[in-house]
Amino acid sequence: MNSNCTAATDAKKNLSVKDLCERNIWKGKAQATAFWLLWFQNGVLLALFRLLILIIFTPFSLCLPLTRRRQFYRYLLLIMGIRIRCNLTWDEVKKHTDGCVVALNHISIFDHFPVLAMPGATVMVDHSDSVFGRAVGFLLFKGSGSTYWRVSNVKQIVKNFRHWHKAPEGTALYITPEATINNGRGLFRFRPEFMIRGRPVVPLAMKLSVPFGLTPNPLMSSGAAKFLRLIMSPYLTFNLDFLPPHTPMQNYKDKQAEQAFADAVQNSIAEHLDIPATHFTREDKYLYREEVSRERHI
């Protein structure tokens, strides 16, 4: 194995990068696969039902006032079997996150479903792994009344932050500073460029419960396959715990201080979830994925 990825070890937690990546579609016992196969036909019908609801819901919701649209979106999630459990009420979340960056751990391609139900939500988006994800994302953003920043580099991030600084009130910017998805057993290192822009940062610790022992993000699955498995599941339960905010940094020139700030936000989420906060990055993950792919073809 490459010494820069799978053979590398996080000195503090004694983990390898593969410990943050899930290669199996089902966790635990073999009968989980059997239960999924028994459910499969119902899952296909449920996925079609959910997609149909989204298609019908979006144009209807556009006719509603913004406040009603966001309320209607929360009802939509209930109808779709997507449950959100939060440690704060709606009004408390609104007050706690207003004008702040909300940094959350990234656990699935469905993380935007509960995030868009939050008051004032604006989501930083880079790309989607599948056509299904992009299409559903478009419907969700339109129907929920939330907005997004399309960014692919630091220059675009800085430009959007400058514009937001003019009137941050009424907006909560949701970001996933790992820049990749973990498997719930540890966190990839947070990137400071997503949050070092003079706004308070609220850590958000998220958990996702999926039936049948299904893995939300198998390492070698395509984006379309991951999306279809999740949308076919009888239910998805998201647990959201908003943590105390971190005071914004003012010095953007000290790279070590910026990373230390990002590490502090990462550590607060990891401690709450009782999982390690590692220094492995998105690049380490994809180096490991390339190695796994090469091994399969040997």
Residue 94, pLDDT above cutoff 70: yes
- Sorting pLDDT into bands at 50, 70 and 90, what band is 265? very high
pLDDT at 60 over 90: no
4 assigned to some structural domain: no
Question: Which residues does residue 150 pair with via DSSP β-bridges, in sequence order?
Answer: 125
Is 6 within a domain? no
pLDDT digits 0-9 by tens, 31-48: 677 888 899 999 999 999
Q: What is the mean pLDDT of residues 17-22?
A: 91
pLDDT at 28: 63
- Asked if the structure places residue 8 within a domain, the reply is no
The answer to whether position 2 is within a domain reads no
C-alpha to C-alpha distances, 217 to 14, 25, 210, 235, nearest whole angstrom: 23, 8, 11, 16
pTM of the model: 0.89
Q: Which two tokens stand for residue 83?
A: 């449950």
Residue 11 located in a structural domain:
no
CB atoms within 10 A of CB 207: 14
Return the higher-pLDDT residue of 272 and 64: 272
pLDDT value of residue 130: 63
How far, in Å, CA of 193 to CA of 215, rounded?
Answer: 29
> Lowest-pLDDT range, 121-130, 216-225, 238-247?
121-130
Number of structural domains the chain divides into? 1
How confident is the model at residue 10, as a pLDDT? 52
pLDDT value for 255? 84
Let me know if residue 3 belongs to a domain.
no
* Residue 94 to residues 126, 173, 240, 247, Cα–Cα distance (Å): 25, 12, 14, 18
Beta strands in the chain (DSSP E): 82-86, 101-104, 121-125, 147-150, 172-175, 201-209, 236-242
What is the pLDDT at residue 140?
84
Residue 6 banded pLDDT, cuts 50, 70, 90:
very low
Domain that holds residue 192: 17-293
Whether residue 7 is contained in a domain is answered as no
Beta bridge partners of residue 85, listed in sequence order: 239
Confidence of residue 29 (pLDDT cuts 50, 70, 90): low
Q: Is the residue at 237 inside a domain?
A: yes
Q: What pLDDT does residue 20 have?
A: 93
pLDDT the model gives residue 11: 45
What is the spatial distance between Cα 271 and Cα 268, in angstroms, rounded to a whole number?
Answer: 5
Q: Name the pLDDT band for 286 (thresholds 50, 70, 90).
A: very high
